Amino acid sequence: MSDAVRDYLEKRGCAPHLCDGGLEGLVARWEEFVEEVVGGYSLGLDDYLNDLDLRDILEGALGAAGPSEAKAARRRTRAADERFRGTTAECAPLWGETRERADAVPWWYRRRPLNPGEELREDLHRAGLR
């Protein structure tokens, strides 16, 4: 892992396990999360938003990485992103305070699973996002 990626993760205040895993670890975690969504995300909205933060962190790490380090990671991220888009639907931004500025919100915060578990389905309904 490059020093630039580690510096980015540390400055962002990421947990040590994310810093230690570096770019490769972030991509692997994003791929795992996407598989959870494909299979029917079983947790609630707060957990889902927390998991989406991983994609936001990954975006910054990709920007911090050098071209050679980022090449394979970008390819894998794009593949996982396409899979994520295929199993989610566009919706209003999931963060309540940003709903009025939807165009300023990254696309991953504007996607809800097509197959949410019961808890997430209820949370989305209560939030008016279903």
pLDDT, one tens digit per residue, over 32-85 is 999 999 999 999 999 999 999 999 999 999 999 999 999 999 999 999 999 999
Q: Is residue 99 pLDDT above 80, yes or no?
A: no
The pLDDT score that the predictor gives to residue 120 is: 96
Query: What pLDDT is attached to residue 100?
Result: 56
**Domains of the chain: which residue ranges?**
3-126
Provide the 3-class DSSP secondary structure of residue 1: coil
**For residue 34, how many C-alpha atoms fall within 13 Å in the half-sphere facing its CB?**
20
List beta partners, residue 89. Answer: 112
Supply the pLDDT for residue 103.
Answer: 64
Q: Provide the whole-model pTM.
A: 0.91
Q: Using CA atoms, how far apart are residues 121 and 130, in angstroms rounded to an integer?
A: 8
